[in-house]
Amino acid sequence: MGGVTMKTAQLPRTIPALSLETDAALTWRYAELTADFNPIHIDPEFAAGTGFGGPILHGTMGLNLLVEAVAAAFGRPMPALRFDIRFIRPAPVGAIIRAGGELSDPVNGVYSVFVETADGQRTVEGTCSL
Amino acid sequence: MRPAAREKAWTYDALRPGHEFGETHFRIDAGRVARWAEIYGGTEGDAVPPGLLVVEMMKAYLDLVHPRPPGNIHAGQRLRCLDMDVPADAALTASVRCLDKTLRKGRGWVTFDVVLRSRERDVLQGEIVTIWAA
């Protein structure tokens, strides 16, 4: 197996947050990138008739931002890492989302990681571990 | 290899743990990286951004587990980032299988396993945890 191994002392204490400002145009570009054209993300009229009341971001948009934040914190090449996350709630199209984390278990190399909207509402929570 | 086209949506009852949905073969070219950068910003070096590899994992699932009933919920995700240093335009393979399914509080939970490989090494393994709508 490839990847880089790291010693405890080398572990970054935090995963500095990365932010992404979203809007309908960016969401459409993400739909094109992923071929996920679920109307809940890109059709305001359809989404208005759902329990969400309006379009919501693809959950993986935030997950990808989190992976990028972790990659930036560790540098390239990334060490071998495991993520275990839950999608807690959706974020509305138009939200600013932030993704980051902090070292919660230095001995075992485990980070608590998150994606949240600018007002602090968590959309993704979980762990990233070596 | 892709399985034969299917007309009926994959219902919870039809899904079988261990069932393999097939493989896709693709390259992440400069154009695709540029489309990523339009969303997430510029990239450094020649390696594919790690987040874009996660995109490819999800795209393989969407391509191969088809047709799906509307209304499925992507509830969770496990990722093993094994060797993410993939150069641009490398040949990649994604394979998808149903890992398990279980009923919990009246809802069908199904987990799909996706493996991305490049040059006979595993790059990324993902478990897509879903609440299946039908």
Q: Do residues B98 and B15 touch, judged by C-beta distance below 8 A?
A: yes
Q: Do residues B68 and B11 touch, judged by C-beta distance below 8 A?
A: no
pLDDT at residue A1, rounded to an integer? 39
Amino acid sitting at position B105? K
Share of chain B above pLDDT 70, in %: 96
Residues B85, A64: C-beta atoms closer than 8 Å: no
pLDDT at B5 over 70: no
Residues A29, B39: C-beta atoms closer than 8 Å: yes
Q: What is the pLDDT of residues B81-121, one digit of tens each?
A: 999 999 989 999 999 999 999 999 999 999 999 999 998 89
Mean pLDDT of A114-121: 97
Q: Does B16 touch chain A (CB under 8 A)?
A: no
B79 Cα to chain A: minimum distance (Å): 5
Q: What's the order of all strands across the beta sheet hosting A122-129?
A: A14-21, A96-105, A110-117, A122-129, A81-87, B73-81, B121-132, B107-118, B91-104, B20-27
**Token pair for B50:** 């790690």
Mean pLDDT of A36-59: 93
Share of chain A above pLDDT 90, in %: 87
Query: Helix, strand, or coil here: B16?
Result: coil
Q: Do residues B27 and B91 touch, judged by C-beta distance below 8 A?
A: yes
pLDDT at residue A2, rounded to an integer? 45
Mean pLDDT of A100-115: 96
Q: What is the pLDDT of residues B60-84, one digit of tens each?
A: 999 999 999 988 999 999 999 999 9
ipTM for the complex shown: 0.93
Of the candidates B65, B113, B129, which has an alpha carbon nearest to the alpha carbon of residue A85? Answer: B129
Please, what is the Cα angle at A87 between A81 and A90, to 5 degrees?
A: 135
Ordered domains of chain A (ranges, CATH) = 8-129 (3.10.129.10)
